[in-house]
Amino acid sequence: MDSCRVVVADDHPLFRDAMVALLREVPGVEVVAEVSSGRAAIAEIRARDPDVAVVDLRMADGDGVHVCRAVTREGLRARVLIVSGYDDPELVHAALAAGARGYVAKDSPRLELARAFRAVAAGGTAVGAALLAEATGRLRHVESGRPLLSGRERAVLALLAEGESAPEIAQRLGLATSTVKSHLANMYEKLGVSDRAAAVAEAMRRGLLR
């Protein structure tokens, strides 16, 4: 990974310290600010211009969704990764719809947290495996009596949610990268979205991820 500047926001000091320690183990990562509230997170993101903001969902003075909305509204370049103790699928969807690039549970294994961070830092999207399982167990959607997405599109979508890039998805599925990009374009059109994070958020809302 190239140089990556990070802001960490969490109102639990022990978890914040643990997250900062984990991130500092990743080569090239520089933690430029540690804060304990949503308002402070927005202020530091504005001031520090980080590549990634790792943000708790529930904090004083503005939660993680509020931070995502501010980043999107102001056109800030930080990519937000939500790390939360809450696993309600509706909260996951709300965060992704607000502009979060990833959402993982605080009790996820260290490797999963690190993988999600790397995916978001690289411009991808990442949703924890346990959260996807919970969401798809509670949300099911079929339109016009038939699946909205094809089986291949669902396979691409599942890997997209894991944070894989188009070339990585192509390698995993044994397809050409151009074919994967075509599937992504078709999927975006069907879901009525224009980017990866919005596609994952809408697919979760519709119960299309398995």
Backbone angles phi, psi at 68, to 5 degrees: -60, -45
Q: Domains in the chain, please, with CATH?
A: 4-128 (3.40.50.2300), 139-206 (1.10.10.10)
Helices assigned H by DSSP within the chain: 13-24, 38-48, 64-74, 89-98, 110-121, 129-138, 151-161, 166-173, 177-191, 196-206
**Residue the block writes with tokens 């798809």:** 136
* Whether pLDDT at 124 is above 80: yes
In angstroms, the CA 23 to CA 65 distance is 22
* Residues 155-201: tens digit of each pLDDT: 888 888 888 888 989 888 888 888 888 888 888 888 888 888 888 88
Measured torsion, CA atoms of residues 157, 161, 163, 165, in degrees rounded to the nearest 10: 10
Grade residue 129 by pLDDT with cuts at 50, 70 and 90. Answer: low
- Tell me 11's DSSP state: S
* Residues 54-95: tens digit of each pLDDT: 999 988 787 899 999 999 999 999 999 999 888 777 788 788
pTM for this one?
A: 0.68
* Residues 8-45: tens digit of each pLDDT: 999 999 999 999 999 999 889 999 999 999 999 999 99
User: Structure tokens of 58?
Assistant: 């529930």
